[in-house]
Amino acid sequence: MESLSSKVLLFGVSCLVLLAVQRYLEYKRIVQAIQAPSHSTTLLSVRSVLGNILPRIRGITRGRMATWVDKHIQYAKSGWDGVIQVNMWPKPNATLFLADAAAIKEVTTARARFPKPVKVYRALSFFGGNIVASEGEDWKRYRKIAAPTFNDRNNRLIWDETTRIILALFDDVWGSQDTVILDHALTITLPIALFVLSAAAFGRRISWTDEEGIPPNHQMSFKVAIHEVSLGCLVKVLVPEWAMGLTAHLRRVRLAFEELNIYMLEMISQRRNAEKKEERHDLLTNLLEASADDLTFNDRDLTGNIFIFLLAGHETTAHTLCYTFALLALYQDEQEILFQHIKSILADGRIPTYEEMPLFTQSMAVFNETLRMFPPVLGIPKYSAEDTRLIISNDAGEKRDFGLPQGTNITLDVAGLHYNPRYWKDPEEFRPARFLDPEWPRDAFLPFSAGPRACIGRKFFETEGIAILTLMISRYKIEIKEEPEFARETFAERKARVLTSKPGLTMTPVRVPLVFKRR
């Protein structure tokens, strides 16, 4: 028996040694195939589960927030706006991190050479296939049908519904209060974004004050279901299906996803079978109309794409608005410039109209500067479908040819690009005026990605954001909430505290305590 145990142990050790040797040889092959000035090595891939959970451990993993913490530092150290990391686990591979605008433009334009790793996004197919979690012919089909749904009629609906929701907040929630104190601004930006999405995506208005009843055959109201799904997406991505019943919170998230699916299928059926067709311009109606002639576009495709619009439009907008309010509260001079510009257009205090949206250039500049400093997504994944080359530059204007073997991972480093001093002077400073310069570096601005796969909901996002920001600043002055425990902090300390962020599906502000004072 002892002899048998020894043999089993020896066999196990031999297998591990063989695996290690195999991995090492593959690692050496990749290193030899790479043609670049230098590279670093870590055990865990940045795209592995452990690599995304663990903090930075030298030689083990870069850590999930490394891209945000480093910004452009790693490129300044290497001397090039492209750096390569080779990892050993789960299998040997190389990742090129890019903060070079010209190289990024080439990657986003040449889709055949640098496709999207669809498997990274498969977890987002809760309700069906969609434009984000697809590539090739499937993506073309989704894009062809989804793109026309984001049209001028929908943008007008977004503006009008956003205006209605913000005015209802002023009148029905804040009322006669001259001062409104929020311990965390997300408590107001999350519902604003959710209410706009419900109206503009589903054609269903949600009130600030009225509580919806639970309809027959449901266990949650639509308002609660859509809210819980929006907050529970990261849980749904990370927790396996078999574990979703282990706690009360997980069961509630699972129920919310089930309920939203039922609600979406009911809305699809109602609109298809309605005797009298109402004139609607929400995304669900537009998607139904655009897909009417494509018999392959089924209900799962409809629910899958509507969910992606919900996911992309809720948290992204809410977090960006939260950061915007925080920055304006910190930089009072920039807030005053914005207020005076709004006042010059709305001199009589009236409500802005959709047609006037292009006039609010300062609002757009503030919004863009916030997106530059706090991009919702820090890295956009691609990979090389073949042995290929990319030209990378540096501060001195020198160029270097990087050779990339087939299968090399590529991360478009949005934070590194947005804080690259080659394109943005004093990138750590909040300066909206840089976006008023007609020559601002558009290729170095990547919050909506770029190329054929750029976000089709960009105009939706901008329309909603400008309407909210313009109305809010026209009525209220925003300040940082004064708290005794922080009475002696410097401006730099206050800025760091208020803008502290954590990882999530998108960049997430930890706590932004604000005061809104009626003007």
- Per-residue CA distances from 303 to 9, 258, 297, 325, 333 (Å): 52, 12, 11, 33, 45
- Helix axis angle for 491-498 and 299-330, nearest 10°, is 170
Give the 3-state secondary structure of residue 408: coil
Binding residues: 455
Buried/exposed 118-133: b ≥16 CB within 10 Å, e otherwise: beebeebbbbbbbbbb
Specify the residue for token string 């950061």: 323
Nearest C-alpha neighbor of 149 from the set 291, 265, 271, 261: 291
Let me know: does 396 contact 346? Beta carbons within 8 Å.
Answer: no
Give the 3-state secondary structure of residue 262: helix
Binding residues for heme: 455
Give the 3-state secondary structure of residue 44: strand
- Per-residue CA distances from 197 to 90, 203, 241, 467 (Å): 39, 9, 27, 14
Chain centroid to Cα 51, Å, comes to: 20
The type of residue at 387 is D
Nearest C-alpha neighbor of 466 from the set 380, 357, 385: 357
Which residues, in sequence order, are CB contacts of 82 under 8 Å at separation 6+? 36, 75, 96, 97, 98, 99, 100, 103, 390, 392, 402
End-to-end CA distance of the chain: 86
Let me know: does 371 contact 320? Beta carbons within 8 Å.
Answer: yes
Supply the DSSP symbol for 42: E
**Rounded to an integer, what distance in angstroms lies between the CA atom of residue 312 and that of residue 233?**
11
Let me know: does 179 contact 516? Beta carbons within 8 Å.
Answer: yes
Nearest C-alpha neighbor of 363 from the set 471, 519, 456, 218: 471
